[in-house]
Amino acid sequence: MEILIALVIVVVLMVIAASKYKFHPFLSLLMAGIVMGFVGGLSENEITTALTAGFGKTLGSIGIIIAFGTIIGAYLEKSGGAKTMANWALKTIGKSRSVLAMNITGFIVSIPVYCDSGFIILSSLNKAISKQTKISMTVLAVSLAAGLYTAHVFVPPTPGPLAATAALNADLGLVILLGLAVAFPVSLIGYFWAKYIQHRYKSLPNNNNMDTPETVSKIEAIPKTSIAFMPIIIPIILIALKSISDYPTQPFGEGVLSKTINFIGNPVIALLVGVFLAFKLKKNVNDATHFNWVTSGLKEAGIIILITGAGGAFGSVLQATGIGDIIGSKFSHLNLGLFLPFTIAAILKTAQGSSTVSIITTAAIMAPILESFGLDSSLGRALTVLAIGAGSMTVSHLNDSFFWVVAQFSGMDTTTALKTQTVSTLIQGTFGIIIIMIIGWIFI
End-to-end CA distance of the chain: 29
Amino acid at site 368: P
Contact (CB, 8 A) for 122 and 107: no
Half-sphere exposure of 348 (CA within 13 A, CB side): 30
Q: Answer whether residue 213 shows pLDDT above 70.
A: no
- How far is Cα 3 from Cα 78, in angstroms, rounded to an integer? 48
> What CA dihedral angle connects 70, 88, 94 and 141, to 10 degrees?
20
Q: Answer whether residue 254 shows pLDDT above 90.
A: no
> What is the predicted pLDDT for the residue at 115?
85
Contact (CB, 8 A) for 191 and 103: yes
What count of other Cβ atoms lies within 10 Å of the Cβ of residue 444? 14
Domain count, the chain: 1
Q: Answer whether residue 220 shows pLDDT above 60.
A: no
Query: What pLDDT digit, counting tens, does each position of 23-68 carry?
Result: 887 888 888 889 888 988 889 999 999 999 988 887 886 788 878 8
pTM across the whole model: 0.72
> What is the predicted pLDDT for the residue at 395?
85
Nearest CA among 240, 243, 189, 175 for reference residue 386: 175
Q: By percentage, how much of the chain surpasses pLDDT 70?
A: 89
> What is the predicted pLDDT for the residue at 168?
93
Contact (CB, 8 A) for 275 and 73: no
Q: Answer whether residue 394 shows pLDDT above 80.
A: yes
Find the mean pLDDT for residues 156-182: 90
> What is the predicted pLDDT for the residue at 384?
97
Q: Residue 250's pLDDT band (boundaries 50, 70, 90)? A: confident
Q: Answer whether residue 402 shows pLDDT above 70.
A: yes
Q: Residue 352's pLDDT band (boundaries 50, 70, 90)? A: low
> What is the predicted pLDDT for the residue at 171?
92
Q: Answer whether residue 217 shows pLDDT above 70.
A: no
Average pLDDT value for the chain? 83
Burial class (CB in 10 A: 0-12, 13-18, 19+), 333: exposed
Q: Answer whether residue 99 shows pLDDT above 50.
A: yes
Query: What pLDDT digit, counting tens, does each position of 113-148 carry?
Result: 778 877 877 776 787 678 777 899 999 999 999 999
Query: What pLDDT digit, counting tens, does each position of 158-170 carry?
Result: 878 988 998 899 9
Which CB contacts under 8 angstroms, 24+ apart, belong to 324-331? 324/367, 324/368, 324/369, 324/371, 324/372, 325/368, 325/372, 326/3, 326/4, 327/4, 327/368, 327/369, 327/372, 328/369, 328/371, 328/372, 328/373, 329/372, 330/1, 330/4, 331/372, 331/373
Q: What are phi and psi of 245, to 5 degrees?
A: -60, -30
Contact (CB, 8 A) for 69 and 113: no
- How far is Cα 85 from Cα 106, in angstroms, rounded to an integer? 9
Q: How far is CA 354 from the centre of its chain?
A: 11
> What is the predicted pLDDT for the residue at 327?
65
What residue numbers bound the domain in which 123 lies? 2-443
Find the mean pLDDT for residues 334-360: 84
> What is the predicted pLDDT for the residue at 79?
84
Contact (CB, 8 A) for 357 and 309: no
- How far is Cα 55 from Cα 149, in angstroms, rounded to an integer? 27
Q: Answer whether residue 152 shows pLDDT above 60.
A: yes
Q: For residues 248 and 45, which has the higher predicted lDDT (pLDDT)? A: 45
Q: By percentage, how much of the chain surpasses pLDDT 90?
A: 27
Q: Answer whether residue 288 shows pLDDT above 80.
A: no
Buried b / exposed e along 167-191 (16+ C-beta atoms within 10 A): bbebbbbbbbbbbbebbbebbbbbb
Q: Answer whether residue 215 shows pLDDT above 50.
A: no
> What is the predicted pLDDT for the residue at 210?
39
- How far is Cα 357 from Cα 25, in angstroms, rounded to an integer? 7
Find the mean pLDDT for residues 284-307: 79
> What is the predicted pLDDT for the residue at 13?
82
> What is the predicted pLDDT for the residue at 178?
95
Q: For residues 82 and 386, which has the higher predicted lDDT (pLDDT)? A: 386
